[in-house]
Structure 1
């Protein structure tokens, strides 16, 4: 189901003013991927990118075409691990954070 313009604008406005929201969106997307829900993780990561850094700037940072990055994180996209981790690394640098993985039972 495509997102409406209102939804995208709402997410973007919240992301601009709320650092915790941005970080939670990023964390949720990556946690979904680690749990095996790749499609949801890509969708959330794409929403995060659209609301924050944008694909044009991300393309410059990763030295990849923005359209290639959009396809990679699209519904039919199947990103290589190297490309996905390059994206995550650039996002962390952009946010000024370092994400960590922890194990829980």
Structure 2
């Protein structure tokens, strides 16, 4: 896990750089599909904090939790007006 200062730096960059936000969100989706949900959750937290915030996310999705991940991605991509792509990681 990144130190808190690193997380704040990432959140600030997400706030000012839509392409970076899209990349972080795409990587979170890839990690989730690749079996690393905890890392994906941490990345999603930074994206939410850097975009619409948890209060707005909650109003759009109900209780934002891993069981409604599709709604979370839909809310964030709608807010940013972007599409993301998840990549399946190839087995080693």
CA contact (8 A) 1:29 1:42 kept: yes
TM-score, normalising length: structure 2:
0.79
Aligned CA-pair RMSD: 2.3
Gaps (5+ residues) in structure 1? 73-78
CA contact (8 A) 1:8 1:51 kept: no
Greater Rg, structure 1 or structure 2? 1
State the Cα distance separating 1:11 from its structure 2 match: 1.8
CA contact (8 A) 2:77 2:83 kept: yes
How far apart, CA to CA, are the structure 2 residues paired with 1:29 and 1:44?
Answer: 6
Of structures 1 and 2, the one scoring higher in RCO (CA 8 A, sep 6+) is 2
How far apart, CA to CA, are the structure 1 residues paired with 2:7 and 2:88?
Answer: 33
State the Cα distance separating 1:31 from its structure 2 match: 0.5
State the Cα distance separating 1:9 from its structure 2 match: 2.9
Other-structure match for 1:90: 75
- Give the length in aligned residue pairs: 90
TM-score, normalising length: structure 1:
0.71
CA contact (8 A) 1:16 1:52 kept: yes
CA pair 3-57 structure 1, distance change in 2 beyond 3 A: farther
Q: 1:64-87, CA deviations, whole angstroms, 9 ceiling, x for partnerless residues?
A: 1xxx42xx3xxxxxx32xx11111
In structure 2, the residue corresponding to 1:50 is in which secondary structure?
helix
